[in-house]
């Protein structure tokens, strides 16, 4: 079996996921995992599909043909999962919202060799003041060579500059 990672974006309307699922099933593909969401009138998702080698090219052509339904699909062949050299870490962050906060956090993570596997962010009003607060929940893949204490110290240094609350914990 070959594995594909698909990135999908389309106008949000009923039947989009079914149309993608039908295309995959018609070409002997198996939908393995996905993350999908609606945002600002658009539907976006990323999914992993297994497909027999003999159906690979046909499935790719069929996925590309979904463009006639305004469904754009970016296709990447999946490589080897390097998860055996990483340890999962959950990160929760809350702070005053400001431009550049995601850039600053992800820059520090990249400098430490930490991979962002999942990131969910939003801005909500603070309970008492109604000031905008930035919230981030992430699943990080930390190299086995990096200690959690070192990462925590580096992020806390940044957290002081950003005036944010930070929690890191090993993911189970």
**Fold annotation for 86-170:** Alpha-Beta Plaits (3.30.70)
Stated pTM of the model? 0.70
What pLDDT score does 34 carry? 94
What pLDDT score does 46 carry? 95
Which residues of the chain fall short of a pLDDT of 70? 79-84, 161-164, 172
What pLDDT score does 8 carry? 97
The answer to whether 122 and 135 have CB atoms below 8 angstroms apart is yes
What pLDDT score does 163 carry? 63
Pick one of 3.30.70.120, 3.40.190.10, 3.30.70.260, 3.40.50.2000 as the CATH number of 2-77: 3.30.70.260
Structure tokens at 134: 């930035």
What pLDDT score does 168 carry? 81
Residues β-bridged to residue 48: 5, 33
- The residues spanned by each domain of the chain are 2-77, 86-170
Do 2-77 and 86-170 have matching folds? yes
């Amino acid at each position: 079996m070959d594995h594909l990672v698909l990135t999908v974006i389309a106008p949000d309307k009923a039947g989009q996921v079914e149309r993608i699922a039908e295309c995959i099933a018609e070409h002997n593909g198996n939908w393995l995992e996905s993350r999908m969401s609606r945002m600002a009138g658009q539907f976006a998702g990323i999914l992993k599909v297994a497909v027999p080698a003999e159906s690979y090219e046909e499935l790719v052509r069929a996925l590309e043909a979904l463009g006639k339904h305004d469904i754009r699909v970016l296709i990447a062949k999946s490589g080897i999962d390097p998860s055996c050299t990483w340890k999962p870490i959950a990160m929760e962050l809350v702070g005053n919202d400001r431009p550049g906060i995601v850039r600053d956090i992800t820059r520090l993570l990249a400098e430490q060799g930490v991979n962002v596997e999942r990131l969910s962010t939003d801005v909500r009003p603070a309970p008492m003041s109604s000031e905008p607060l930035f919230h981030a929940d992430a699943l990080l893949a930390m190299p086995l060579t990096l200690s959690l204490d070192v990462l925590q110290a580096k992020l806390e240094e940044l957290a002081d500059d950003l005036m944010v609350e930070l929690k890191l914990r090993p993911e189970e």
